[in-house]
Amino acid sequence: MFAWRPRPVEITEKLNDTSFEPAHAAYYDGKSGDWLRLLLQARVDFLSIWRPADFTERVTATRVLGRQIVLVNAPDLIRQVVVKRHENYERKSPQMRRALEYLLGDGLFISDGETWKQRRALVNDIVHTNRVPSFGPVMEKTAGELVERWNSMPDGASVNVLHEMAGLTAEIISRSVFGNNLGKESADAVTDAFTSYQSLIDSINLGYFIGFDEGLPVLRTPSLRRSVKRIHRIIDKVVEDHLAGRGDHNSMVELLIRRQERSPELKLDLVALRNEAATIFMAGHETTAATLTWAWYLLSRAGWAEQAVHEEIARVCGDRTPTIDDVPKLDYCRAVIEETLRLYPPVPILARQTKQADTIGDLPVEPASLVLIVPWLLHRTPSLFEDPHLFRPERFLGDRRPVPYSYIPFASGPRVCPGMNFGLTEAILCLAVLAQRFRVRVDADHKVEPLCRLTLRPKGGLPVTLHRR
């Protein structure tokens, strides 16, 4: 009986004077073909079920309770799935749709078909690369306010930096998307509520594997309802304020409202507006917060990389606070963020459900199969990245770029994250502003454990101490 219990996750971390292998789950060594045990293990931690052979360029298939599961881990075949035949693979997995539909409704992240096509074009315009510079002052001001708050604490103060980064990015996205200050109380409420929401969502929709092609709805427990209600209450008020004419006329939500007025066929009623606002808000703040949190962990352990960050900021900015105009010159800061995204992609599993039978490489794929593209595996494949488990920002310096479709922290193809450039710019700028004034230290004895729920976070957050420079 007890043999069926999932095993504790073994974490590997290695550090010496010149190299750092940050925390990751050890390779799975359970009995081959024991899919029930593997499924139970995946419910505990999806990152701890991979064997060494999974970190190779190939496509494989297996069955779990009659459902075909296809793992695609070769750049050319990933291109086939996300670009060449993307219409057959645009549908998110039932697990992801069921996990997020209560929170996001039919928002862009989990929608497909005509709804996705209409909303995608709309959101693309709103977070277009050309608009990113206009959000610079918001990012600079909000990061500067966090510097002031940290300065008000005693040197060596202890904080949970995941919570700190979530509050920072929530405030930035609120001021950018909604055109007004969220306020610390509301930012903390959204952060806490989404943390609770993730903890309450099962990593595996068992209904899908026992024959329900759409999976089974998530059980809406009182705790889950409270989490969603806290988030919706805050976002609904902001949208309603805009509809009542009390919003910032340059905000993203205001652009959504104006577009609906010009194009009623979009059917962006209050619920649809809330869904899109919630999608932009949750995706926009959560992924960048997780990235910055992992970056602080990596820099805390790899002192040589932290020193290079400080030297670059001093060279580019001197004593003045970094601005968005400095971002193109902060090459090493960018490399740190890109390497962080390689090692800890915010969404480490991209799952799709096939619409029709197909062939990937030479592998026949059935309708309603689960197709997995796993950045966690792809980014750590030795044939694509030398010493893939090591933290090496140098991989992204100069003209060195990964093989196309081997590095996809924001997905790829038509469903690439529309806020990619916003998030990258935000992460680089916030890293520079905060690193200029503080060293963030993770205790050497603290066990960092990556945990994949809806996103990839350090289990329990990341306790750190803050030290003025």
For 51, residues 6+ apart whose C-beta sits below 8 A from its C-beta are 27, 28, 29
- CA atoms of 469 and 439, how far apart (whole Å): 7
Burial of 250 (0-12, 13-18, 19+ CB in 10 A): exposed
**DSSP classification of residue 26:** P
Output the CA–CA distances (angstroms, integers) from residue 182 to 156, 171, 227, 464, in the order listed: 28, 6, 18, 25
- Amino acid identity for residue 33 in this structure: G
Any residues with CB less than 8 A from the CB of 83 and at least 6 apart, and which? 412, 413, 414
**Which structure tokens are listed for 409?**
């922290």
The two most distant CA atoms of the chain are separated, in Å, by 63
Least Cα distance to 298 among 16, 17, 47, 21 occurs for 21
Cα gap 64→38, rounded to integer Å:
10
* One-letter amino acid of 240: E
Q: What is the dihedral of CA 418, 338, 197, 195, to 10 degrees?
A: -130
Q: Return the structure tokens found at 354.
A: 């096939």
The DSSP output letter for 204 is: S
Q: 196 burial class (0-12, 13-18, 19+ CB within 10 angstroms)?
A: middle
According to the 3-state scheme, what is the secondary structure of 225-273?
Answer: HHHHHHHHHHHHHHHHHHHCCCCCCCCHHHHHHHHHHHCHHHCCCHHHH
Stated length of the chain: 469
The residues with which 359 forms a beta bridge, in sequence order, are 364
Closest CA to 336 of 198, 226, 429, 201: 429
Contact 324, 140 (CB under 8 A): yes
Residue in the structure block whose two tokens are 């919003």: 247
d(CA 97, CA 207): 13
452 carries a ligand binding annotation: no
Directed axis angle between helix 420-437 and helix 331-343, to 10°? Answer: 110
Binding positions for heme are 417
Binding positions are 417
